[in-house]
């Protein structure tokens, strides 16, 4: 009788062990499945944040969309500097002037075209070419207000008119607004300049070429 009792006890213990092993196996499988699902979800989310850009058909660069947003203020300032360089840095060459202005108009709206037309009608570009004047711009400060769209921008710097005998230095201050647009080959930063105007552009100094300082 005691032997039979021990047999039943051992059998019950074995069933309990099998049951616990089955429970552990099921829990382990569920935990593994959940871990794999979480890893897959994280990988998909990360891949959606990546933008693949074809670099001249030769290589592929990966840029994180989040990092693009972080760099947006720097892109805005570079957009403004690029525009000013194209619009205000000119050589006494009609084709160079037309080429620079054409590239500048891709970065701005109709206000940029109107300013160019006003200067052209006033004979400004003709005087540069006839006088063999090299015009150069040096940007000193770009202030962009990102608190509200369109973003107000105030740019200040110096405009240099370089002639054979002297250099005229002008104080240049401009104002405009920036809006976000689609990126293109002609507008890689994805900004558009609106309501562009020259706030200040007056002579502050004329330096003789023989006495010019090294930083001009």
State pTM to two decimals.
0.67
Residue 38: its pLDDT value, please?
76
Nearest to 49 by CA among 70, 73, 35, 33: 70
Q: Across the chain, what does the average pLDDT equal?
A: 84
How many angstroms separate the CA atoms of 24 and 27, rounded? 5
Top pLDDT among 65 and 109 is at 109
Instruction: List, for residues 190-208, the tens digit of each pLDDT value.
Output: 999 999 999 999 999 999 9
Identify the CATH homologous superfamily for domain 72-211: VirB8 protein (3.10.450.230)
List, in order, residues 6 or more apart from 77 with CB less than 8 Å away: 142, 144
Residue 58: its pLDDT value, please?
44
Return the top range by mean pLDDT from 40-49, 103-112, 205-214. 103-112
**Segment 56-70 mean pLDDT:** 51
Residue 32: its pLDDT value, please?
75
Q: Is the pLDDT of residue 47 over 50?
A: yes
Instruction: List, for residues 95-122, the tens digit of each pLDDT value.
Output: 999 999 999 999 999 999 999 999 999 9
Whether the ω angle into residue 20 lies within 30 degrees of 0, i.e. cis, is: no
Residue 17: its pLDDT value, please?
72
List, in order, residues 6 or more apart from 128 with CB less than 8 Å away: 90, 92, 97, 135
Which stretches within 49-123 are classed as H helix?
65-70, 72-88, 94-105, 110-121
- Label residue 59 by pLDDT band (50, 70, 90): very low
Residue 211: its pLDDT value, please?
52
């Amino acid at each position: 009788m005691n032997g039979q009792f021990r047999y039943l006890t051992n059998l019950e213990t074995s069933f309990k062990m099998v049951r616990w092993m089955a429970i552990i196996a099921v829990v382990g499988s569920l935990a593994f499945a959940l871990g794999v699902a979480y890893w897959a979800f994280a990988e998909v989310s990360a891949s959606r944040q990546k933008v693949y850009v074809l670099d001249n058909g030769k290589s592929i660069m990966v840029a994180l969309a989040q990092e693009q947003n972080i760099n947006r203020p720097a892109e805005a300032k570079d957009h403004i500097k690029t525009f000013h360089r194209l619009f205000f840095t000119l050589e006494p060459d009609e084709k160079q002037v037309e080429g620079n202005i054409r590239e500048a108009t891709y970065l701005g709206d109709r206000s940029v075209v109107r300013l160019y037309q006003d200067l052209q009608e006033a004979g400004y570009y003709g005087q540069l070419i006839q006088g063999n004047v090299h015009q150069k711009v040096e940007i000193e400060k770009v202030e962009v207000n990102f608190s509200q769209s369109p973003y107000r921008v105030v740019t200040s710097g110096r405009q240099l008119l370089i002639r054979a005998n002297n250099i005229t230095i002008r104080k240049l201050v401009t104002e405009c607004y920036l809006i976000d647009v689609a990126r293109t080959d002609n507008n890689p930063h994805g900004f558009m300049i609106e309501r562009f105007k020259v706030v200040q552009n007056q002579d502050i100094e004329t330096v003789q070429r023989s006495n010019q300082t090294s930083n001009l």
